[in-house]
C-alpha cells in the first residue's frame, strides 16, 4: 500500500495531543464542575493541609470546649484541641481510605464480574459462587471482626477490610451486565472478526460498562469513607490516628452532644456529607459524558479533524483507486457493469448469471460446497433446523436463500460462519471452502485459532440488525479499525485510518463520519457501515442475513445497489438471506428455497421467476403482486409453517400442498436435477434446476421414470427424516 507524504502530514497535524473538545465540554458541565470543585477541595486539603498547619491535632490546651471564634475557627474539644486542625488532619485518612478502598474494590469487582460474566463453564460458576458467598455474609459484623484483628494496622488495614467486604455487590452487577452484553450481536460480530476473548472483554464489553464501573467506584469511595467513620466511631480502629471518624468517636465518648458542643461533631459529619455530595454530582455528570447517546457533542473535534484531513488527502492524492487496485486480491475478475446496470430492470428479465462473474462463458469455480449438512438444536426431541442440505456457491455468485420464518435460513448462515450458539450444533456434513489457490478446507473441522484467522479474512457476515451489531459506545472508525488491528498487526495507524476512509467511501459514507457513533447514523448508513466492516479484509464470501429487512424500500434499494456494485467491483460471492423473494429474484444469480430445514428448490433466479417448479416456490411467488399485467388474486401459501419438532411424515410440505398425491405421505422427496427440457427456452447456459418434489419426472413415483424410493429415506409419521 502506497502512502503519500501529503497524507502523512495531513494525518500528523491533528494528532497533537490536545484534549477533545466534546469530552472537555462534557467535563466542564456545571454538574461535573460542581462535584469536582467540592471533591478537589477535600483532596487538596488532605494533601497540603497537614503541611501548612503546623499544630499537632492532639495538642492539649486550657481553652476547653470553646465555641467557634477568631482564634479557633471551629472551636475546641474538651481537651482544648483545635477542631479545625483535627478536621484538616482527619481529611487525609478519610480521603486516603475512601479512594484507596474505592480503587481496590472497583478493580476486584471488574476482574471478577467481567471474567465471570464473559467466560462460560466451571470457572464462571466458581466466581459467581465466590461473590454470592460474600454477598450473603452480613458485612457489618464481618467488618467488625476483621477490624478487631487489625487494630493497629492504620489506614492500610482499614482499606483491606473494606475491600474484602465491599467488592461482591459491584462484581454481581457487572457480571449480570456482562452476561447480557456477551449475547449481543456486536460482541458476536467482534468474535466473528477473530478478536480474542481478552480483547473482546477489554475493547468491546468494558466500554459499555464504564457508566456502571464509574458509579461503582464513586459509590465505593463514599461507602469506604462512611465505613471508616463507622469503624472509628465504634472504637475499632486506632483512635489516636486522626480521621473524621475518630473525631466523631471522641466527641461521642466525651459527651459533646450533652455539652451542646455542636462544633465538635458537626464539622466532621458535614465534611463526609460534602464529599458524598460532590461524588454524586460527578457521577451524574459523567454519565452524560461517558454515554455517547447522552453526550450533546458526541463526536470528538480531534477525530473529526483527523478523518476530514484523511478524506481530503485521499481525494487529493487519488489514493482510493490506487488502493483498490493495489489490493492483494486485485486479480479478481472485475466486471465492467456498474451497480445500477446490475440492477437494471432488464437484468431481472434476463438470465442474471449472464452479467455475473460466474457466467459469460467462464468456468464456474466453487468457493463453498455444503455437503449433507445437518444442524440440530437441543437434545431429547431435537429441532433439526437444517436437514441434509447440499449446495455449491461459486466464486462471485450471489446465492439467495428464501423461505418462511423458521425454515432454517439463519441457522445455515451461522453454521457456515461457525457462529452457531449452543444448543445448536452441526450433527453431520461438510462445509468445504476452496481458496483461490485451489486449497480446500473443511470449515466444520477448523480449530479455534484457524477459525479466528479464517473468519473475516475469507468469509464475513453482515448481521440482520445493524444497530445491535455495532458497538454503541465505539465510533464507526474505531470498530472498523479493530478488525484491521486484529488481522493486520503490521499495518501502521495511518495505514489503518486510510483503509477505514477507503472502506467508508466504498459503501458511500463520507469518511468524516468515521468518528460518528452508531446512533448518529441513519438505518441505511448503519447497514452500509456493517457492509464496510464485512469488506475490511477483502473476503471471498459475505453472508448477509436479512440485511435490509428493517429498512424502507428507498434505503433498501440504496443498500442493495451498494452490495451489487461492490460485488461487481470486487468479485466476492454473497449468500443473501431474506423473506423477500421478489428482491432475491432481482439481485441473485441462484436462489435456494428452504422449507422445514431442507432445500426444496435450487435454480437460477430467472428460471425460478419464469417457471417455479416446487409447489411451495409457486406459492411464495404467488404471494407477490406484479406491477404490470392484469390484476390477479394473490394465492399465497395456505396454512402455517410446520412445527419443526413434529414434522409430518413424508414430504414436510404435504399438509399445505394442494398438489399432494399418493406417495407424498410415504417418503421424503430428494433434491434432484431436472432434465434440460424443464428449463425455459434460451436459458440453456443456466445450471439445471433442482427440485425436491414427487411431481417431477425423475424424482420418483409420479413419473414413468420413478423408482428412487429405494434410495430415499422412508419416514414414519411424526418423526424427522
Ligand atoms: N437457540 C435455539 N434453540 C432451539 N431452537 C432454535 C434455536 N434457534 C433457532 N431454533 C429453531 O430452529 C429453526 C430455524 O430457525 P432459524 O432462526 O434458522 O429460522 P429462519 O429461517 O432464519 O427464520 P426467520 O426468517 O424468522 O429469521 C426454528 O424452528 C427455530 O425455532
Ligand atoms: S412431494 Fe407432494 S406434497 Fe411435496 S410438494 Fe411435491 S406434490 Fe406437494
Ligand atoms: Mg433468520
Contact 403, 386 (CB under 8 A): no
Is the beta carbon of 654 within 6 A of some atom in ligand 2? yes
Question: Band of the pLDDT at 613, cuts 50, 70, 90?
Answer: very high
Q: How many CB atoms lie within 10 A of CB 327?
A: 14
Is the beta carbon of 660 within 6 A of some atom in ligand 2? yes
Is the beta carbon of 657 within 6 A of some atom in ligand 2? yes
Average of per-residue pLDDT across 414-440: 90
C-alpha 388 – ligand 1 centre gap (Å): 16
Atom of ligand 2 nearest to the CA of 614: 5
pLDDT in tens, 646-676: 888 889 999 999 898 888 988 899 999 886 5
| CA–CA gap between residue 233 and residue 70 (Å, rounded) | 29
pLDDT of residue 407 exceeding 60, the answer is: yes
**What pLDDT is attached to residue 706?**
38
Atom of ligand 2 nearest to the CA of 663: 2
| CA–CA gap between residue 517 and residue 526 (Å, rounded) | 10
**What pLDDT is attached to residue 161?**
83
C-alpha 349 – ligand 2 centre gap (Å): 28
Among the listed residues 418, 419, 536, the one whose alpha carbon sits nearest the alpha carbon of residue 485: 536
Average of per-residue pLDDT across 211-224: 89
Contact 155, 93 (CB under 8 A): yes
pLDDT in tens, 67-100: 999 888 999 998 899 999 999 999 998 899 999 9
Q: Domain-by-domain residue ranges, the chain? A: 28-57+72-290, 299-317+467-532
Contact 559, 551 (CB under 8 A): yes
| CA–CA gap between residue 461 and residue 551 (Å, rounded) | 18
> Cell numbers 507524504 label which residue?
5
Order of strands across the sheet with 398-402? 459-462, 541-545, 573-577, 398-402, 590-595, 598-604, 690-691, 672-673
Q: Which ligand is nearest to the CA of 650?
A: 2
**Percent of the chain as helix, strand, coil, to the nearest 5:** 50, 10, 40
**What pLDDT is attached to residue 145?**
75
Q: How many helices (H) and strands (E) does the chain have?
A: 27, 12
Beta bridge partners of 461: 543
Q: Report the nearest-CA residue for atom 1 of ligand 2.
A: 693
Lowest mean pLDDT: which of 4-8, 471-475, 571-575? 4-8
Contact 152, 89 (CB under 8 A): no
Terminal C-alpha separation, the chain:
53
**What pLDDT is attached to residue 11?**
37
Q: Which ligand is nearest to the CA of 422?
A: 1
- For the domain bounded by 28-57+72-290, which CATH number is listed? 1.10.3720.10
Q: Which ligand is nearest to the CA of 616?
A: 2
Among the listed residues 277, 270, 291, 215, the one whose alpha carbon sits nearest the alpha carbon of residue 31: 277
Average of per-residue pLDDT across 546-556: 76
Cell of 592: 435456494
Contact 549, 542 (CB under 8 A): no
| CA–CA gap between residue 242 and residue 92 (Å, rounded) | 9
Distance of alpha carbon 710 from the chain centroid? 49
Question: Band of the pLDDT at 29, cuts 50, 70, 90?
Answer: confident
Question: Band of the pLDDT at 25, cuts 50, 70, 90?
Answer: low
C-alpha 677 – ligand 1 centre gap (Å): 37
| CA–CA gap between residue 57 and residue 60 (Å, rounded) | 9
Contact 691, 673 (CB under 8 A): no
Cell of 278: 460532590
Contact 474, 207 (CB under 8 A): yes
Q: Report the nearest-CA residue for atom 22 of ligand 1.
A: 410
Atom of ligand 1 nearest to the CA of 386: 14
Order of strands across the sheet with 424-434? 383-394, 366-377, 424-434, 440-442
pLDDT of residue 421 exceeding 60, the answer is: yes
C-alpha 195 – ligand 1 centre gap (Å): 26
Contact 701, 694 (CB under 8 A): yes
Is the beta carbon of 405 within 6 A of some atom in ligand 1? yes
Rounded alpha-carbon distances, angstroms, from residue 626 to 158, 604, 610, 621, 631: 78, 20, 13, 10, 8
pLDDT in tens, 523-539: 888 888 888 888 888 89
Under DSSP, the state recorded for 444 is G
**What pLDDT is attached to residue 309?**
54
Average of per-residue pLDDT across 438-443: 90
| CA–CA gap between residue 556 and residue 537 (Å, rounded) | 24
Atom of ligand 1 nearest to the CA of 403: 21
Three-state DSSP class for 267? Answer: helix
Looking at the chain, the whole-number percentage of residues with pLDDT higher than 90 is 28
Q: Is 198 exposed, middle or buried (0-12, 13-18, 19+ CB in 10 A)?
A: exposed
Question: Band of the pLDDT at 442, cuts 50, 70, 90?
Answer: very high
Under DSSP, the state recorded for 384 is E
**What pLDDT is attached to residue 239?**
73
Lowest mean pLDDT: which of 153-162, 576-585, 681-690? 681-690
C-alpha 659 – ligand 2 centre gap (Å): 6
* Mean residue pLDDT across the chain: 78
Cell of 58: 492532639
**What pLDDT is attached to residue 591?**
95
Is the beta carbon of 695 within 6 A of some atom in ligand 2? yes
Atom of ligand 1 nearest to the CA of 413: 18
Average of per-residue pLDDT across 211-216: 87
C-alpha 407 – ligand 1 centre gap (Å): 7
C-alpha 205 – ligand 2 centre gap (Å): 49
What one-character-per-residue DSSP string does 94-136 give? Answer: HHHHHHHHHHHHHHHHHHHHHHHHHS-SHHHHHHHHHHHHHHH
Q: Which ligand is nearest to the CA of 544?
A: 3
Under DSSP, the state recorded for 434 is E
**What pLDDT is attached to residue 61?**
86
Q: Which ligand is nearest to the CA of 594?
A: 1
Lowest mean pLDDT: which of 297-301, 313-317, 337-341, 544-548? 337-341
Question: Band of the pLDDT at 701, cuts 50, 70, 90?
Answer: very low
Beta bridge partners of 462: 544
Torsions phi, psi of 670, nearest 5? Answer: -90, 155
- Per DSSP, which regions of 463-525 are E strands? none
Three-state DSSP class for 429? Answer: strand
Contact 252, 233 (CB under 8 A): yes
| CA–CA gap between residue 658 and residue 692 (Å, rounded) | 16
| CA–CA gap between residue 652 and residue 112 (Å, rounded) | 49
Under DSSP, the state recorded for 92 is H
Contact 713, 669 (CB under 8 A): no
C-alpha 322 – ligand 1 centre gap (Å): 44
> Cell numbers 430467472 label which residue?
606
Torsions phi, psi of 604, nearest 5? Answer: -60, 150
SS3 annotation, 54-90: CCCCCCCCCCCCCCCCCCCCCCECCCCCEHHHHHHHH
Is the beta carbon of 664 within 6 A of some atom in ligand 2? yes
Distance of alpha carbon 201 from the chain centroid? 11
Question: Band of the pLDDT at 550, cuts 50, 70, 90?
Answer: low
pLDDT of residue 12 exceeding 60, the answer is: no
pLDDT of residue 356 exceeding 50, the answer is: no
Among the listed residues 601, 690, 592, 709, the one whose alpha carbon sits nearest the alpha carbon of residue 650: 709
Amino acid at each position: 500500500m502506497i502512502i503519500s507524504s501529503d497524507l502523512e502530514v495531513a494525518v500528523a497535524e491533528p494528532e497533537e495531543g490536545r484534549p477533545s473538545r466534546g469530552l472537555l465540554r462534557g467535563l466542564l458541565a456545571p454538574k461535573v464542575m460542581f462535584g469536582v470543585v467540592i471533591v478537589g477541595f477535600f483532596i487538596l486539603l488532605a494533601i497540603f493541609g497537614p503541611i501548612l498547619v503546623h499544630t499537632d491535632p492532639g495538642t492539649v490546651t486550657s481553652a476547653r470546649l470553646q465555641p467557634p471564634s477568631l482564634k479557633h475557627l471551629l472551636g475546641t474539644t474538651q481537651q482544648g484541641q483545635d477542631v479545625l486542625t483535627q478536621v484538616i488532619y482527619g481529611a487525609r485518612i478519610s480521603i486516603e481510605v475512601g479512594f484507596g478502598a474505592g480503587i481496590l474494590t472497583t478493580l476486584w469487582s471488574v476482574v471478577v464480574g467481567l471474567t465471570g460474566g464473559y467466560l462460560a463453564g466451571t470457572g464462571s460458576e466458581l466466581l459467581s459462587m465466590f461473590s454470592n458467598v460474600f454477598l450473603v455474609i452480613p458485612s457489618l459484623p464481618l467488618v467488625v471482626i476483621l477490624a478487631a484483628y487489625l487494630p493497629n494496622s492504620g489506614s492500610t488495614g482499614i482499606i483491606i477490610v473494606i475491600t474484602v467486604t465491599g467488592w461482591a455487590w459491584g462484581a454481581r452487577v457487572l457480571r449480570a451486565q456482562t452476561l447480557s452484553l456477551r449475547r449481543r450481536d456486536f460482541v458476536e460480530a467482534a468474535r466473528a472478526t477473530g478478536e480474542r476473548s481478552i480483547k473482546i472483554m477489554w475493547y468491546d464489553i468494558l466500554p459499555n460498562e464504564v457508566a456502571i464501573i464509574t458509579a461503582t467506584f464513586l459509590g465505593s469511595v463514599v461507602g469506604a469513607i462512611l465505613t471508616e467513620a463507622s469503624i472509628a466511631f465504634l472504637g475499632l480502629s486506632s483512635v489516636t490516628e486522626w480521621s473524621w471518624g475518630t473525631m466523631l468517636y471522641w466527641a461521642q465518648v466525651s459527651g459533646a452532644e450533652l455539652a451542646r458542643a455542636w462544633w465538635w461533631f458537626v464539622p466532621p459529619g458535614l465534611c463526609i456529607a460534602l464529599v458524598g455530595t460532590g461524588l454524586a454530582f460527578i457521577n451524574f455528570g459523567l454519565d452524560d459524558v461517558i454515554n455517547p447517546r447522552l453526550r450533546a457533542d458526541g463526536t470528538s473535534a480531534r477525530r473529526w479533524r483527523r478523518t476530514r484531513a484523511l478524506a481530503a488527502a485521499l481525494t487529493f492524492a487519488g489514493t482510493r483507486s490506487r488502493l483498490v487496485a493495489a489490493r492483494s486480491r486485485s486479480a479478481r475478475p472485475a466486471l465492467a457493469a456498474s451497480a445500477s446496470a446490475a440492477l437494471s430492470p432488464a437484468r431481472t428479465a434476463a438470465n442474471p448469471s449472464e452479467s455475473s462473474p460466474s457466467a459469460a462463458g467462464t468456468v464456474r469455480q466453487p468457493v463453498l460446497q455444503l455437503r449433507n449438512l445437518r444442524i440440530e438444536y437441543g437434545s431429547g426431541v431435537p429441532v433439526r433446523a437444517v436437514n441434509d442440505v447440499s449446495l455449491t456457491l461459486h466464486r462471485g455468485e450471489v446465492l439467495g436463500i428464501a423461505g418462511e420464518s423458521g425454515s432454517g435460513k439463519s441457522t445455515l448462515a451461522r453454521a457456515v460462519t461457525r457462529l452457531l450458539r449452543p444448543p445448536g450444533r452441526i450433527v453431520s456434513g461438510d462445509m468445504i471452502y476452496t481458496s483461490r489457490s485451489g486449497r480446500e478446507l473443511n470449515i466444520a473441522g477448523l480449530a479455534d485459532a484457524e477459525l479466528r484467522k479464517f473468519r473475516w479474512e475469507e468469509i464475513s457476515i453482515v448481521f440482520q440488525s445493524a444497530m445491535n451489531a455495532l458497538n454503541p459506545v465505539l465510533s464507526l472508525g474505531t470498530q472498523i479499525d479493530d478488525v484491521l488491528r486484529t488481522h493486520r498487526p503490521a499495518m501502521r495507524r495511518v495505514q489503518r485510518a486510510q483503509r477505514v476512509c477507503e472502506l467508508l467511501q466504498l459503501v458511500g459514507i463520507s469518511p468524516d463520519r468515521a468518528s460518528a457513533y452508531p446512533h448518529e447514523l441513519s438505518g441505511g448508513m448503519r447497514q452500509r457501515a456493517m457492509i464496510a466492516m464485512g469488506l475490511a479484509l477483502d473476503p471471498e464470501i459475505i453472508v448477509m442475513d436479512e440485511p435490509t429487512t428493517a429498512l424502507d424500500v428507498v434505503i433498501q434499494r440504496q443498500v442493495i445497489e451498494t452490495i451489487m456494485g461492490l460485488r461487481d467491483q470486487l468479485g466476492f460471492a454473497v449468500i443473501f438471506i431474506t423473506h423477500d423473494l421478489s428482491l432475491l429474484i432481482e439481485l441473485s444469480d441462484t436462489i435456494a428455497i428452504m422449507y422445514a430445514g431442507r432445500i426444496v428448490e435450487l435454480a437460477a433466479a430467472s428460471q425460478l421467476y419464469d417457471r417455479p417448479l416446487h409447489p411451495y416456490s409457486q406459492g411464495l411467488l404467488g404471494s407477490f403482486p406484479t406491477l404490470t399485467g392484469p390484476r390477479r388474486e394473490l394465492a399465497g401459501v395456505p396454512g402455517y409453517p410446520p412445527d419443526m419438532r413434529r414434522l409430518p411424515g413424508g414430504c414436510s410440505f404435504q399438509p399445505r400442498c394442494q398438489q399432494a398425491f399418493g406417495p407424498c405421505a410415504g417418503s421424503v422427496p430428494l433434491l434432484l436435477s431436472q432434465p434440460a427440457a424443464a428449463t425455459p427456452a434460451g436459458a440453456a447456459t443456466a445450471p439445471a434446476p433442482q427440485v425436491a418434489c414427487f411431481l417431477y419426472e425423475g424424482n420418483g413415483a409420479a413419473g414413468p421414470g420413478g423408482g428412487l424410493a429405494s434410495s430415499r429415506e422412508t419416514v414414519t409419521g411424526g418423526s424427522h427424516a
